[in-house]
Structure 1
Amino acid sequence: MIVVSSATSDTGSAVADALLATGEQVRVLGRSRDRLQRYVEHGAEAAEARTDDPGSLRAAFAGAHAAFVMIAPGIIPGSTDFPAYQRRVINAFRQALGGLGDLARIVSLSGWAANHDGARGPVWGLRPLEEALDTLTGPEVTHLRPGWFMENALPMIDEVRATGTAHGLIPADLPLPAIATADIGAVAADLLTGRRKAGARTLELQGPRDVTLTEITAAIGRALGRPEARYEQIDAATMRERLLAAGFSPHMADGTTAMTLDVAERRIAMRRPRTAQTATPTTFEEFLTRVLDRQ
């Protein structure tokens, strides 16, 4: 049995889908059994569990020989103390997974922010999650550190469609190690089943090539019939104000802005070169086509 936590998240669902596609016995976890029904229809077991509740997690992981874990949700817009929530999640996973005799493999979703000792905002908890899981004895643990999620570009699609201009704090010409969530799910599934060995405790992942936000905006413009589409960089104060206007608490607006600045100013960056082992296949253009086909 392979257990996938946060199966209704983008990455959790990608992992679950990849495992079910190859006929694995899967148990999916989420806060609502109703939202897990689509997996049940494809042969999975479903269990309700909160990522910050060690009791429900412990019961849900019972009998597992492999487990996929992540901090979810990755952002709670109204939170006034997100690190406290992350600490509860990390402690719950440590309690739930410790001493499970059948558990042979754990794969965690971390991120490239874990490369930066001073990571701020919503990604603060990634390194502490890794460190907590590393204290477990018995299972083989692999931490995935993917780069910039292509899904971050989804709001840009709406902006370009509406106005022809996308906005962001990251410089237009900064090369980003963009990666599709589906590819992360495929790698995680191979690690969970043992079809792939990471070869190291941490595994950086990135798409086939770096892309800039200028290139991403141009690709979106071409796909939407807006060839004039352009990317416009905003400053940190403007980003914070936009987040507040969208309903973020001051705490979460500050943290999210700080996190983005760490990317923009290259404190969050890949530490290893792209190789055949760390590169994934989906290009941004392919990702964009799939997204627009679903709209």
Structure 2
Amino acid sequence: MIVITTPTGKIGGRVLEIIVAQQDTSGEKVRVIVRDPGRLPEEIRDRVEVVTGSHGDREVLDRAFAGADAVFWLVPSNSPAPSLEAMYTGFTRPAAEAFVAHGVGHVVTVSALGRGTAVAGRAGHVTASLAMGDLIAGTGVAHRALANPAFMDNLLRQVNSIRDQGVFTDTVDPDHRLPTVATRDIGAVGARLLLDRSWTGTGEVPVLGPADLSPNDMAHTMSEVLGRPIRYERQGFEQLRDSLTGHGLPEPIVQGYLDMMRAVNDGLNEGVPRTPENTTPTSFREWCDSVLAPAVRA
């Protein structure tokens, strides 16, 4: 039995899609934790067990983890938490206790690059995510953390600006090349680990995307795919603070994003050498063709 959290999100949904597609050959039973079962794809809904509720709720976890062999664990990004500790470790602590209580053997989590770098301890959300991984690893389960850089899909938050002004923003230098990955590829790696549970112990699995890209590289590709000029504008940290605060985020969460982006500029995502094993297939151009362009033109 595999339990999947956030099954209607981009990463959790991809994990669910792949595992359900292989049920006939794998024989795996699947259980999902979801607040609104109506958001599950209709073709999948009847092939999984559904536990309705929040995966931050111990009673929900006890129902979901009973008889489970493996869990895909992802902390929701829209949590109204008062602090980074509460958002990551605090939210996960009931699950860590439930892993032990129910004898869950394998857990795959979504985390970030940066462990072992000089800036890992002052990287805001990344630091908190790494601490969450330490909590889970401390339970004794076999644990793999998917260590990711920035997501290509984050650009979807700027669809209106890309469509109406031909502009996207970030806080990195225009020519600074960094790894970037499509969420669908993260989900594919997570599904592979859940279906083949021959691994033991704890560790990280870097998921780097196919190539390092700068914002200017991205602007060039987006311009070609969309058939119109798209440019990058570097955003100052105070501008970012104002934008995040304007969305109603608590100050500790806002500060966590600022600290994370400063750490990215200081090399947070550049400590893992690229290998065939950690290079995933979806190129930025392919992602723009299949995901960004339809969103911009909708």
Q: Same fold (TM over 0.5)?
A: yes
Corresponding residue SS for 1:27: strand
2:138 corresponds in structure 1 to 135
**Is 1:57 the counterpart of 2:58 in the alignment?**
no
In 2, distance between residues paired with 1:293 and 1:160? 12
Confirm or deny: 8 A CA contact 2:20 2:44 kept in the other structure. Answer: no
1:264-275 mapped onto 2 (5 Å cutoff) = 264-266=265-267, 268-275=268-275
Task: Tell which deviates more after alignment, 189-198 or 87-96.
Answer: 189-198
8 Å CA contact 1:114–1:126 kept in 2: the answer is: no
SS at the partner of 2:47? Answer: coil
Query: Could you say which residue in structure 1 is the equivalent of 2:127?
Result: 124
- 1:198-237 correspondence runs (5 A): 201-227=203-229, 229-237=230-238
Unaligned runs of 5+ in 1: none
Matches within 5 A, 1:101-250: 101=103, 103-115=104-116, 116-137=119-140, 139-194=141-196, 197=199, 201-227=203-229, 229-250=230-251
- Relative to structure 1, the CA distance from residue 271 to residue 216 in structure 2 (aligned partners, 3 Å threshold; closer, same or farther) is same
How far the C-alpha of 1:221 sits from its partner, in A, is 2.2
Indicate yes or no: 2:71 matched with 1:70.
no
Q: One-letter code of the match for 2:288?
A: L
Q: Distance in 2 between matches of 1:8 and 1:129?
A: 22
Whether contact under 8 Å (1:90, 1:128) holds in the other structure is no
1:28 aligns to 2:32 (yes or no): yes
Distance 1:12 1:173, change over 3 A: same
C-alpha contact (below 8 Å) 1:58/1:97 kept by paired residues = no
Contact 2:143 2:202 in 1 (8 A): no
For residue 93 of structure 2, what is the amino acid of its counterpart? N
Residue 203 (structure 1) shift: 1.1
3-state DSSP of counterpart to 1:166 = strand
Alpha-carbon contact 1:75-1:122 (below 8 Å) kept: no
- 1:118 aligned counterpart, secondary structure: helix
On the 8 A contact 2:120/2:126 being kept in 1, the answer is no
Residues 104/200 of structure 1: CA separation in 2 closer, same or farther (3 Å cut): closer
Q: CA deviation at 1:87?
A: 2.9
Secondary structure of the 1:269 match is coil
Q: What is the deviation of 1:25?
A: 2.2
TM-score after normalising by structure 2:
0.88
Whether 1:4 aligns to 2:1 is no
Displacement of 1:114 in angstroms is 4.3
Task: Tell me, yes or no, if structure 1 residue 41 matches structure 2 residue 45.
Answer: yes
Following TM superposition, where does structure 1 have runs of at least 4 consecutive aligned residues deviating by more than 4 angstroms?
Answer: 113-116, 195-200
What RMSD, in angstroms, separates the aligned Cα atoms of the two structures?
Answer: 2.3
Name the stretch that deviates more: 50-59 or 31-40. 31-40
The CA deviation at 1:190 is: 0.9
Pairs aligned (count): 289
In 2, Cα distance between equivalents of 1:128 and 1:80:
17
- Which moved further from structure 2: 191-200 or 30-39? 191-200
Output the CA distance in 2 between the equivalents of 1:86 and 1:272.
23
1:84 shift after superposition: 2.1
SS in 1 for 2:120: coil
Distance 2:245 2:272 in 1: 36
Distance 1:75 1:217 in 2: 28
- For residues 191 and 64 of structure 2, the distance between their equivalents in structure 1, rounded to whole angstroms, comes to 19
Structure 2 spans left out of the alignment, 5+ residues: none
> What's the TM-score, normalizing by structure 1?
0.88
Cα distance in structure 1, aligned partners of 2:252 and 2:66: 36
1:246-285 matched pairs, under 5 angstroms:
246-266=247-267, 268-285=268-285
Greater displacement, 187-196 / 166-175: 187-196
Distance 1:275 1:249 in 2: 38
Q: Is the 8 A contact 2:167 2:233 kept in 1?
A: yes
